[in-house]
Amino acid sequence: MQKTLLPIIVTVIIGCSSESPHQNRTLSENWDTYLGDPGRSHYSPLTEITRDNVSQLEVAWSYDSGETREGSSTMYTSPLIVDGVLYGLSPKLVAFALNAATGVELWRYDYGGPGASQRGLMWWEENNDKRVIYTAGAQLIALDASTGQPITSFGDNGSVDLRPEGKDAPFFTGVPGVVYQDKIILGFSTSESANSHSGMIRAIDVYSGDEVWRFNSLPLEGGLGSETWQEGSLANAGGANNWSGMTLDEERGMLFVPAGSANPDFYGATRTGDNLFANSLIALDATTGEYRWHYQTVRHDLWDRDLPAPPTLVQLEREGVLIDAVAQTTKSGHLFLFNRDTGESLYEIYEATGIPSQLPGEVVAATQPVSSVAFTRQQFEITQRSSEANEFVLELIAPLDQRPWAPPSTEGVLFYPAYDGGAEWGGSAYDPAGHKLILNAQEIGGILRVYERPAGYGSGLFAENCGLCHGENREGTDRGPSLDRLNERLSVTQTMSVVSEGRGNMPGFGHLESEVSNAIISYIRNPGSEIQVGDGSAIDYAFGGYIRVRDHEGLPGNSPPWGTLNSIDLATGEIDWQIKFGNYPSHPDLNWGAESYGGPVVTASGLIFIGATPDSKFRAYGSENGALLWEADLPAAGFTTPSVYSVDGKQYVVIAAGGGKMGLASGSQYLAFSLPDSN
């Protein structure tokens, strides 16, 4: 799989805008790239804040970025800081610039859309041309960093419509791409049903907005990887898209792309085969998009085990030799580690035998690769919190198939760790002091069930487009509210607006034909009026929705810890330390860990900064042993990754408090923390 490396000359230009309040920043003082650098290391070399003084941190400034979106509004943005200016996004994706030392607003730009979840921005500069670039739904927007005004020579007066040609399906980009030389390299998100776009990685010219190259992560018929698909199945397949972000090795000119699962997600009878490049870490030439190597972590995925986060460039030492590697975390709680040049695994991988499916037409992969390094438990252990909790969960899981790697069924499968991992999109931090990987993880069980798709026109369309989040019978799941008696809460016009434009975490479905959206709305508001279609001879299956195993009080139905923060020795794969991380606001005294969304940042002074938990805390831990050294209350949960920077020698750590997940209050504030002035 190894290919000859092309010689790449990389020039780093560190400039300053005449509009910036501070000049001559060094690279270490800036945080000019999503997650700290192109290698997604989540690392800051700054050392003013230490283990000895971190307890003195106080709010330096706060900034309200604007209105929240209607519904469960979120704000996942990790801001960029360049030359003393902070660039961020509001919940409605209004871009803004602040004086990074004071929080004073410098400019704002409203692209005019409804807003969405977006994890960050991109920065590009050449001489005096400095641009802030971000995606808003399907739009790629380039702004002048000094004024906040669109770069009119880019695309159509400053924006490019990224929606691919062909299939009319959900499309948005919720994570920053990679900026390399004069290219913006992007993936995208789509639905997880049969109605989804085919995965592709595209490089866009930073000057014009034109496409430079494309790599089809969902292969074309007859193309690279197509031999792993049943003949003819690629014509109707989708997914294998990069939704979680990518990583760049600038020195090698190599791009590392984690791919999602193939669609439809949980019933693969129409896509028999291993389904490359779904669930694969793919190495590409960043200049040309040429394939270098790949490793597929799940074959013919039936469990939504897409790779959830951009990998982390790391180093490890073995037998006195320093090895450049790339680390990929997974939802299943396993860590894969590969040689960057060759794709050779640096951990032992064994093959687990597949379990045949009882669903007609489904062909399960014969074996699955499993890394020998795991950072979560791999088996569900029932809660012993109380006899009531134990009995409730025992009854809930009794009818479920509890075998590892059991494929989806109509009876249901006990799925552990559940849909959000294990690891999630926050990613992992690399601590070069000792070559450690720092990551947060969660351990909660799920129920994986499919059902025969209804024969009714509207109900069948609902199952295809909405059932994943709102459940088979509109009862709601962990990802979407109940739609029962919706007609008592929203008018027909309001319902049509939500379906078309989205609301809270829900993307818009404006791509649907009016006949389709009207049928869905009619079914939601009056399910008893369904007209049956077809003779029922063709059996298809829909996903029963994202359901967690919870006890009678809504807490996880497995034994703790439910969320952890971990330090892994990369050379051995052993966990140096693991602590319970986070808490649920409904039970503040348990301290058994909780779900977490957003990642850690590690500093050269031995600190780990992380929000991510539903208890709305922002914390600092010692990287040596995981000791809690400081915490502060946020106005809403910080479901994002913080940024670390310095202005005039003073170090700051900033986090967006957007809340909104798990039924929590939404927010729109950014808070920066620093040590008190000595004078």
Cis status, amide bond into 360, omega within 30 of 0:
no
pLDDT of residue 660: 95
Residues of the chain with pLDDT under 70: 1-27, 455-461, 463-464, 467-468, 472, 486-488, 491-497, 500-519, 521-523, 525-539, 679
Q: Where are the domains of the chain?
A: 27-378+416-444+560-674, 454-538
Tell me the C-alpha distance between 619 and 610, whole Å: 6
Other C-beta atoms within 10 Å of 354: how many? Answer: 18
pLDDT of residue 419: 93
Tell me the C-alpha distance between 448 and 412, whole Å: 5
Cis status, amide bond into 422, omega within 30 of 0:
yes
Helix (H, G, I), strand (E, B) or coil at 394: helix
pLDDT of residue 23: 33
Contact 463, 542 (CB under 8 A): yes
Q: Kindly provide the b/e burial profile for residues 11-31, where b requires at least 16 CB atoms within 10 angstroms of the residue's own CB.
A: eeeebbbeebbbeebeeebbb
pLDDT of residue 500: 66
Helix (H) or strand (E) holding 461: helix 457-465
Q: How many CA atoms lie within 13 A of 17 on its CB side?
A: 23
pLDDT of residue 478: 73
pLDDT of residue 515: 55
**What pTM does this model have?**
0.89
Q: How many CA atoms lie within 13 A of 65 on its CB side?
A: 33
Q: Which two tokens stand for residue 490?
A: 């929203």
**Full 3-state SS string of 250-267:** CCCCEEEEECCCEECCCC
Contact 208, 224 (CB under 8 A): no
Tell me the C-alpha distance between 557 and 416, whole Å: 11
Contact 69, 83 (CB under 8 A): no
- Please state which CATH number belongs to domain 454-538: 1.10.760.10
Amino acid (1-letter code) at residue 610: I
Tell me the C-alpha distance between 20 and 5, whole Å: 39
**Strand-pair partners of 532:** 456
Helix axes 514-525, 457-465, angle to 10 degrees: 100
- Lay out the sheet containing 643-647: strands in order across: 58-64, 666-674, 650-659, 643-647
Question: Which CATH code, of 2.40.50.140, 1.20.120.530, 1.10.10.10, 2.140.10.10, is assigned to 27-378+416-444+560-674?
Answer: 2.140.10.10
**DSSP assignments along 509-566, one per residue:** -TTS-HHHHHHHHHHHH-GGGPPB-S-S-S--EEE---EE-B-TTSSBSBPSPSEEEE
Helix (H, G, I), strand (E, B) or coil at 360: coil
- Quickly tell me which residue has 């801001």 as its tokens: 79
Q: Residue 403 burial (CB < 10 Å; 0-12/13-18/19+)?
A: exposed
Q: What share of the chain is helix, strand, coil (3-state, %, to 5)?
A: 10, 35, 55
Q: Which two tokens stand for residue 92?
A: 């409605």
Residues near 129 by beta carbon (within 8 Å), at least 6 away in sequence: none
